[in-house]
């Protein structure tokens, strides 16, 4: 542990771990520190589904996924349930069902030893002098600080880096998930649920290693009440009770609504992954964008040393990704419109027939 680092990364999820790994491989001489707080619930609140886009990026990295990260069962379709119209449809999907905690630990294990990894919480960040940031960290109840002139915010939807350095709030939901013992009933292995009475977004059920997860995205105000109301409505629709919850967890979830919700950085402070707003507004798939933005920022650091040049390079490299995510916003609006969704689901377009 040093008093000064060239680069401090806040957050060690898919974005931070990828950035740290790729940068350490291309610039092993740089002093890099990564600070990651383990979430209080033990793992990131997440569906833990690895989408084809994220699988493709792992292939581009030449990285194979160990079997130990996979969860049971693997799923081939999503049952979409529209509580407003009562229509259900199944659509083919190509996700890998994973244990998210094991996935994050595995990504951290790929970071070369030359990076200092601190399992602690970043409490505050403040400029001490132009271009020099003081980072205050708490690890095992002890507080300490160090200095850096480059900060990378990879700290997800509730990013302290984004809140400290950028005055640009984005739409946030509260995401609540409960875990129930899987009683082997006829609960769909994976479902996507729309219920405009309780949320303007979507919810899901996922079977995972002997548990059924029910979670959803809700307005922050009144989110808890809306969650429990929706849970009762889903149970009544499916004719099946989830039973007693063994775990409840919650986190903030980013839902970009406009181009300015994607922030790349300024003055030696950079954002990657969900902290940068890089997540699909329509499906909440964010792991592929976390991987890509981490890699692109590492490339930017490897080919430039001056903060503005790094930023310009990073912006250029992420332009296509930001454009792709921008197009997910109208898609989300269509899917979350009860009228349009009903037309699409009624038509049966792209759905698969269950025998
Ligand atoms: C309920 C839910 C379900 C989702 N399901 C899926 C899915 O199935 N598939 C998919 O692709 N995407 C999914 N997403 C999105 C996906 O989880 C994120 O987009 C992705 O994890 C972003 O990666 P990241 O590295 O940017 O941030 P994160 O994965 O959020 O990682 C941030 C890390 O920073 C740490 N951290 C935060 N603040 C601090 C601090 N102050 N000090 C130290 N450390 C800190 C956190 O503990 C965490 O380890 C889901 C999101 C939610 C909320």
C-beta of 154 in contact with ligand 1 (< 6 A): yes
Within-domain flag for 113:
yes
Per-residue pLDDT of 116-171, as tens digits, reads: 999 999 999 999 988 899 999 999 999 999 999 999 999 999 999 999 999 878 89
**Using CA atoms, how far apart are residues 116 and 39, in angstroms rounded to an integer?**
19
C-beta of 256 in contact with ligand 1 (< 6 A): no
Q: pLDDT at residue 7 above 90?
A: yes
Within-domain flag for 221:
yes
Are 136 and 213 in a shared domain? no
The number of the ligand 1 atom at minimal distance from the alpha carbon of 215 is 1
**Using CA atoms, how far apart are residues 315 and 317, in angstroms rounded to an integer?**
5
What confidence score (pLDDT) does residue 38 get?
A: 81
What b/e readout covers 308-323, taking b as 16+ CB neighbours within 10 angstroms?
A: eebbebbeebbeebbe
Are 126 and 186 in a shared domain? no
Closest CA to 131 of 342, 348, 307, 353: 307
What confidence score (pLDDT) does residue 186 get?
A: 80
74-77: long-range contacts, CB 8 A cutoff, minimum separation 24: 75/189, 75/190, 75/206, 75/207, 77/190, 77/352
Question: What is the best residue among 287, 289, 294 to mutate for testing ligand 1's pocket, by most ligand atoms within 8 Å of CB?
Answer: 287
What CATH number is associated with residue 19?
3.50.50.60
Are 125 and 143 in a shared domain? yes
Which of 130-134, 150-154, 220-224, 275-279 has the weakest average pLDDT?
A: 130-134
Are 269 and 203 in a shared domain? no
Q: Give 274 Cα–ligand 1 centroid separation in angstroms.
A: 7
C-beta of 175 in contact with ligand 1 (< 6 A): yes
What CATH number is associated with residue 76?
3.30.9.10
Q: Give 324 Cα–ligand 1 centroid separation in angstroms.
A: 20
Counting Cα atoms < 13 Å in the Cβ hemisphere of 192 gives 18
Beta carbons of 278 and 321 less than 8 angstroms apart: yes
Are 265 and 291 in a shared domain? yes
What confidence score (pLDDT) does residue 170 get?
A: 87
Are 280 and 220 in a shared domain? no
Q: What is the mean pLDDT of the segment spanning 320-334?
A: 97
What confidence score (pLDDT) does residue 43 get?
A: 79
What confidence score (pLDDT) does residue 45 get?
A: 92
Angle between helix 307-335 and 338-347 (nearest 10): 70
What confidence score (pLDDT) does residue 49 get?
A: 98
C-beta of 280 in contact with ligand 1 (< 6 A): no
Q: What percent of the chain has pLDDT above 90? A: 93
3-class secondary structure, 289:
helix
What confidence score (pLDDT) does residue 40 get?
A: 65
**Using CA atoms, how far apart are residues 175 and 96, in angstroms rounded to an integer?**
21
What confidence score (pLDDT) does residue 187 get?
A: 84
Q: What is the mean pLDDT of the segment spanning 158-187?
A: 92
What confidence score (pLDDT) does residue 193 get?
A: 97
Give the tokens for residue 198: 């309780």
pLDDT averaged over every residue in the chain:
95
Beta carbons of 263 and 197 less than 8 angstroms apart: no
Beta carbons of 212 and 180 less than 8 angstroms apart: yes
Angle between helix 287-303 and 14-26 (nearest 10): 30
Within-domain flag for 276:
yes
What confidence score (pLDDT) does residue 39 get?
A: 73
Structure letter (DSSP) for residue 315 = H
What confidence score (pLDDT) does residue 41 get?
A: 65
Q: Give 182 Cα–ligand 1 centroid separation in angstroms.
A: 25
Residue nearest to atom 18 of ligand 1 (CA): 286
Are 141 and 279 in a shared domain? yes
C-beta of 325 in contact with ligand 1 (< 6 A): no
Within-domain flag for 355:
no
Q: What is the mean pLDDT of the segment spanning 328-338?
A: 95
Number of domains in the chain: 2
How many C-beta neighbours within 10 Å does residue 88 have? 18
Are 180 and 320 in a shared domain? no
User: What is the span of the domain harbouring residue 341?
Assistant: 67-98+171-255+334-347
What confidence score (pLDDT) does residue 44 get?
A: 87
Within-domain flag for 59:
no
Within-domain flag for 325:
yes
Residue nearest to atom 3 of ligand 1 (CA): 46
Is beta strand 211-218 parallel, antiparallel or unpaired with respect to 96-97?
unpaired
Within-domain flag for 58:
no
Within-domain flag for 25:
yes
C-beta of 33 in contact with ligand 1 (< 6 A): no
Are 146 and 13 in a shared domain? yes
Closest CA to 208 of 77, 14, 48: 48
Give the tokens for residue 323: 């454009």
Are 284 and 193 in a shared domain? no
Per-residue pLDDT of 10-57, as tens digits, reads: 999 999 999 999 999 999 999 999 999 987 667 789 999 999 999 999
C-beta of 182 in contact with ligand 1 (< 6 A): no
Q: pLDDT at residue 263 above 90?
A: yes
C-beta of 151 in contact with ligand 1 (< 6 A): no
Q: Give 184 Cα–ligand 1 centroid separation in angstroms.
A: 29
Are 44 and 177 in a shared domain? no
Per-residue pLDDT of 58-104, as tens digits, reads: 999 999 999 999 999 999 999 999 999 999 999 999 999 999 999 99
What confidence score (pLDDT) does residue 136 get?
A: 97
Are 320 and 265 in a shared domain? yes
**Using CA atoms, how far apart are residues 283 and 104, in angstroms rounded to an integer?**
20
């Amino acid at each position: 542990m040093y008093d000064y680092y060239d680069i401090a990364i806040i957050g060690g999820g898919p974005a931070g771990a990828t950035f740290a790994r790729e940068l350490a491989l291309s610039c092993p001489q740089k002093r890099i520190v990564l600070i990651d707080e383990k979430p209080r619930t033990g793992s990131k609140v997440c569906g833990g589904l690895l989408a084809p886009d994220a699988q493709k990026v792992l292939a581009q990295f030449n990285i194979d996924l160990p079997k130990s990260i996979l969860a049971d069962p693997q799923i081939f379709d999503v049952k979409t349930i529209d509580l407003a119209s009562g229509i259900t449809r199944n659509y083919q999907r190509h996700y890998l069902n994973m244990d998210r905690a094991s996935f994050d630990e595995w990504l951290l294990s790929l970071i070369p030893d030359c990076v200092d990894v601190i399992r602690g919480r970043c409490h505050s960040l403040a400029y001490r002098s132009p271009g020099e940031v003081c980072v205050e960290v708490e690890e095992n109840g002890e507080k300490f600080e160090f200095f850096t002139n480059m900060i990378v915010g990879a700290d997800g939807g509730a990013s302290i880096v984004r809140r400290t350095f950028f005055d640009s709030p984005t739409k946030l939901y509260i995401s609540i998930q409960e875990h129930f013992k899987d009683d082997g009933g006829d609960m769909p292995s994976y479902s996507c649920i729309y219920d405009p009475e309780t949320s303007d977004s979507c919810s899901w059920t996922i079977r995972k290693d002997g548990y059924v997860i029910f979670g959803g995205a809700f307005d922050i105000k009144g989110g808890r009440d809306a969650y429990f109301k929706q849970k009762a409505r889903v149970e009544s629709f499916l004719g099946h009770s989830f039973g007693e919850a063994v775990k409840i967890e919650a986190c903030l979830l980013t839902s970009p609504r406009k181009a300015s919700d994607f922030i790349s950085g300024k003055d030696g402070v950079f954002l990657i992954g969900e902290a940068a707003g890089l997540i699909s507004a329509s499906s909440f798939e964010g792991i592929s964008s976390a991987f890509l933005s981490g890699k692109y920022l590492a490339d930017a650091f490897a080919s430039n040393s001056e903060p503005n040049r790094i930023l310009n390079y990073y912006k250029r490299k992420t332009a296509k990704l930001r454009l792709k995510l921008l197009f997910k916003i109208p898609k989300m609006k269509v899917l979350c419109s009860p009228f349009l969704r009903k037309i699409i689901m009624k038509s049966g377009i792209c759905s698969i027939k269950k025998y």
